[in-house]
């Protein structure tokens, strides 16, 4: 085969959807901030200190001793039956009626987002999202070429009147609304029970079903969040759960609970996408959690993250210049900050990195009309002392930029 016979032009023709697929802004920024001497508050990773390595080792030993062939063989697309039963029981305890037959095990809840997009979105159909919303969800939906409708919200969540005004399903109407009710990424806000009721009622009236994403629900530091949206509208809600934040993300294990006829189509989409989720990972995780391990383990994660949350909240109170807005989150991993007028979080990032602190500019999290003054801070990867130091650096950068005075309460 001489290279002379090779045509000069590339033989590849990319699909149209590729024009809208771009590298993750967060990941590209993370690469820039992976420098020695820079405190990164930009990550979305849980603390590796929380990973239960010993329990994993024991579980692996049991699985390889008791069911090595099954753990290493092909398996059903729906997932490992005992794990689906565990999820079902867990959901029932949270007020959601989800029989095991409607649980689909996925490669993390990110794959749940991908499969739901595949099954519910045509090119040109609409997805309603919060403003801001989880960036990764938009990345998962975008290959299906939808349009986004941002739903106005306040500190308690999406506004019911904005939800009620959505165009109903069908054609280019709204196929579903994506909501992250507990300790949202990026804002950290939790939707209270009354707002959940009103939101669900508005969605029912508008005929717009819900996609409820709940990766952070177990990470509460003050009080447990209200029952899921799926507990209020089972037949109109798809629910996504994950083991990434309470066990370990490197196993890539999550689940989708969907009403029929969506569940059956999700299973077919899963089969076409990768046949099934790894049997070994599913059996190991089930072995770890089946006897109540998470009931003992999750409180230790809460204690760790609560201390870090408190350190960040205290430092922000001391260090951020007047005119900064933020809410102390009652769970999750993030604080969402709105800087004073005259600050552009993206434009200020290089100066912050130079001063030794990195964050994620908030504009990436908006489907439309980004608020350039916003930024996201993670409080779970640094120690309390490092957090204090990091927020001190951020405060100095902001005060310098604004020509603001030193904080009165600074040491």
- Near its own copies in 13-52, by CB under 8 A: 13-18, 21-24, 27, 44-46, 48, 51
**Of 229 and 337, which CB lies nearer to its own copies in the complex structure?**
229
**Is residue 286 close enough to count as binding its own copies by CB under 8 A?**
no
x/- map, 213-232, its own copies, by CB under 8 A: -------------------x
**Is residue 194 close enough to count as binding its own copies by CB under 8 A?**
no
The correct pick among 85, 197, 318, 389 for binding its own copies (CB under 8 A) is 197
| Span between the terminal Cα atoms of the chain, in Å | 73
**Is residue 280 close enough to count as binding its own copies by CB under 8 A?**
yes
Q: Which two tokens stand for residue 340?
A: 């004073």
Binding-site size for its own copies (CB under 8 A) equals 97
The correct pick among 276, 286, 297, 373 for binding its own copies (CB under 8 A) is 276
Q: Which of residues 287-326 bind its own copies (CB under 8 A)?
A: none
**Is residue 5 close enough to count as binding its own copies by CB under 8 A?**
yes
**Of 209 and 356, which CB lies nearer to its own copies in the complex structure?**
209
**Of 191 and 262, which CB lies nearer to its own copies in the complex structure?**
262
User: What does each C-alpha distance from 131 to 6, 145, 148 come to in angstroms?
Assistant: 49, 19, 11
Residue 170 beta carbon to its own copies: minimum distance, rounded to whole angstroms: 5
Q: Which two tokens stand for residue 131?
A: 């403003």
Residue 403 beta carbon to its own copies: minimum distance, rounded to whole angstroms: 39
The correct pick among 53, 93, 155, 385 for binding its own copies (CB under 8 A) is 53
Strands (E), 201-333: 210-213, 237-242, 254-257, 325-326
Q: Which two tokens stand for residue 348?
A: 């200020």
- Rounded to whole angstroms, the Cα distance separating 322 from 404 reads 8
- Rounded to whole angstroms, the Cα distance separating 164 from 3 reads 62
- Rounded to whole angstroms, the Cα distance separating 84 from 79 reads 7
Nearest to 162 by CA among 151, 154, 173, 174: 151
Residue 293 beta carbon to its own copies: minimum distance, rounded to whole angstroms: 15
Residue 204 beta carbon to its own copies: minimum distance, rounded to whole angstroms: 6
Residue 125 beta carbon to its own copies: minimum distance, rounded to whole angstroms: 8
- Burial status of residue 283 (CB atoms within 10 A of its CB: 0-12, 13-18, 19 or more): buried
Q: Which two tokens stand for residue 303?
A: 């204690």
**Is residue 341 close enough to count as binding its own copies by CB under 8 A?**
no
The correct pick among 42, 103, 281, 390 for binding its own copies (CB under 8 A) is 281
**Of 133 and 319, which CB lies nearer to its own copies in the complex structure?**
133
Q: Interface with its own copies by CB under 8 A: which range of 278-286, 348-356, 390-398, 400-408?
A: 278-286
Q: Interface with its own copies by CB under 8 A: which range of 66-74, 312-320, 365-373, 393-401?
A: 66-74
| Vertex 204: Cα angle to 198 and 209 (nearest 5) | 110
Q: Interface with its own copies by CB under 8 A: which range of 258-266, 327-335, 342-350, 395-403?
A: 258-266
Q: Which of residues 82-111 bind its own copies (CB under 8 A)?
A: 106-108, 110-111
Residue 338 beta carbon to its own copies: minimum distance, rounded to whole angstroms: 27
x/- map, 131-150, its own copies, by CB under 8 A: -----x--xx-xxx------
**Which residues make Cβ contacts (< 8 Å) with residue 372, sequence separation at least 6?**
344, 345, 346, 347, 361, 362, 363
Residue 302 beta carbon to its own copies: minimum distance, rounded to whole angstroms: 19
Q: Which two tokens stand for residue 125?
A: 């159909």
> Cα dihedral angle (249, 380, 129, 326), rounded to 10 degrees?
180
DSSP 8-state symbol, 152: P
**Is residue 192 close enough to count as binding its own copies by CB under 8 A?**
no
**Is residue 235 close enough to count as binding its own copies by CB under 8 A?**
yes
Q: Which two tokens stand for residue 376?
A: 């996201």
Task: Write down the H helix ranges in 176-274.
Answer: 193-206, 262-274
Task: With H, G, I as helix, E, B as strand and everything else as coil, classify residue 69.
Answer: helix
The correct pick among 28, 34, 35, 57 for binding its own copies (CB under 8 A) is 57
The correct pick among 68, 95, 299, 342 for binding its own copies (CB under 8 A) is 68
- Rounded to whole angstroms, the Cα distance separating 151 from 236 reads 18
**Is residue 207 close enough to count as binding its own copies by CB under 8 A?**
yes
- Rounded to whole angstroms, the Cα distance separating 292 from 306 reads 22
Q: Interface with its own copies by CB under 8 A: which range of 82-90, 113-121, 158-166, 341-349?
A: 113-121
Task: Write down the H helix ranges in 67-188.
Answer: 68-72, 81-93, 108-120, 135-141, 160-164
């Amino acid at each position: 085969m001489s290279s002379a016979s090779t045509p000069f032009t590339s033989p590849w023709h990319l699909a149209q959807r590729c024009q809208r697929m771009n590298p993750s802004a967060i990941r590209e920024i993370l690469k820039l901030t992976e420098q020695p001497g820079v405190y990164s508050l930009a990550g979305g990773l849980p603390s590796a200190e929380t990973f239960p390595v010993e329990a994993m080792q024991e579980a692996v030993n049991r699985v390889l001793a008791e069911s090595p062939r099954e753990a290493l063989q092909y398996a059903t697309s729906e997932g490992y039956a005992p794990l689906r039963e565990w999820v079902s029981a867990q959901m029932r305890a949270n007020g959601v009626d989800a029989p095991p037959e409607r649980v689909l095990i996925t490669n993390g809840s990110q794959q749940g987002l991908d499969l739901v997009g595949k099954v519910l979105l045509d090119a040109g159909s609409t997805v309603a999202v919060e403003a801001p919303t989880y960036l990764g969800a938009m990345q998962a939906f975008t290959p299906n070429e939808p349009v986004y409708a941002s739903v106005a919200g306040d500190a308690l969540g999406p506004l019911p009147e904005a939800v009620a005004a959505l165009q109903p399903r069908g054609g280019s109407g709204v196929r579903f609304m994506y909501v992250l009710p507990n300790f949202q990424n990026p804002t950290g806000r939790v939707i209270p029970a009354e707002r959940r009721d009103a939101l669900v009622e508005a969605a029912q009236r508008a005929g717009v079903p819900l996609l409820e994403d709940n990766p952070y629900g177990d990470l509460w530091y003050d009080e447990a969040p209200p029952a899921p949206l799926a507990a209020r509208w089972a037949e109109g809600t798809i629910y996504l759960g994950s083991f990434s934040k309470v066990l370990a993300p490197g196993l890539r294990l999550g689940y989708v609970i969907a009403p029929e006829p969506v569940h059956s189509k999700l299973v077919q989409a899963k089969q076409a996408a990768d046949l099934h989720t790894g049997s070994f990972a599913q059996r190991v995780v089930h072995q770890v959690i089946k006897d109540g391990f998470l009931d003992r383990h999750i409180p230790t994660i809460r204690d760790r993250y609560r201390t870090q949350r408190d350190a960040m909240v205290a430092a922000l109170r001391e260090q951020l210049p007047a005119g900064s807005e933020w809410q102390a989150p009652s769970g999750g991993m993030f604080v969402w900050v709105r800087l004073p007028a005259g600050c552009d979080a993206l434009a200020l990032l290089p100066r912050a990195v130079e001063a030794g602190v990195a964050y994620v500019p908030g504009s990436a999290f908006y489907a439309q009309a980004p608020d350039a003054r916003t930024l996201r801070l993670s409080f779970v990867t640094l120690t309390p002392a490092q957090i204090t130091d990091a927020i001190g650096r951020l405060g100095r950068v902001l005060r310098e930029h604004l020509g603001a005075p030193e904080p009165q309460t600074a040491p």
